[in-house]
Amino acid sequence: MSMTQEEEILSRVNFTKIYNPLTELEIPETWGNAFEFGKWWVDSGMPIVFPKDPEVFLSDDATAVALFRKGRFQIELYLIHPQPKVPDHEHPGVEVIKCRMGLGSMLGFTDILTDGQSHGAGQRLEAEKIGFPLIAIQEWKTREPCTIAAMWKGNTVGPKQEALIRRFHPDAYVVDGYADITRKMTDV
């Protein structure tokens, strides 16, 4: 019997297997909206169940990974780099709630951001000198989840993000400093 590359790599590491309590987690088939999903996730102890083959996405001002995904619902952790550029922007096709961590015994949920609504500071956040974690609770309306950094309409944060957008939307309107996945380059 031939080992896969992953099995071969893991055979060289000394792991002690321990019980994973998440194997007994009851996960609904779906939720009514992003808020119900986010509330369920928090009430369930904020389980980390990475999707199959999780990918770490690197942008110009953040690093992100999906912590949980079920169907079109996703929890994505953003590690916001120090002094991030936060232009006003939209996430077409995705309803999003930002959840700010580090508020003591409370979590801060924003209202659901829906199609056509924008958010962002419109500037670089100079006061955020050490960066911060941000949870993005998402319901994807038009496609399977990837990263909301690629679902963009507005000024971009830089060339790494623009490359991400082009990767997931090869025909999208992307020019230096601006992207709109609802338009195509041929529309111009």
pLDDT tens per residue across all 188 residues of the chain: 467 777 777 778 877 778 888 888 999 999 999 999 999 999 999 999 999 889 999 999 999 999 999 999 999 999 989 888 778 889 999 999 998 776 677 777 888 877 776 766 554 555 578 888 889 999 999 999 999 999 999 999 999 999 999 999 999 999 999 999 999 998 87
Global pTM value: 0.85
**The tokens of 21 are what?**
């309590």
Note the pLDDT of residue 8.
77
Note the pLDDT of residue 49.
93
**The tokens of 98 are what?**
């930002």
Note the pLDDT of residue 83.
81
Vertex 85, ends 172 and 100: CA angle to 5°? Answer: 100
Report the CATH number of the 28-49+56-144 domain. Answer: 2.60.120
Assess contact for 149 and 57: CB atoms under 8 A: yes
Note the pLDDT of residue 35.
95
Note the pLDDT of residue 16.
77
Assess contact for 83 and 100: CB atoms under 8 A: no
Assess contact for 137 and 38: CB atoms under 8 A: yes
Note the pLDDT of residue 123.
46
* Strands, E assignment, 33-152: 56-58, 62-70, 73-80, 85-86, 89-90, 94-103, 106-109, 123-124, 132-140
Note the pLDDT of residue 142.
92
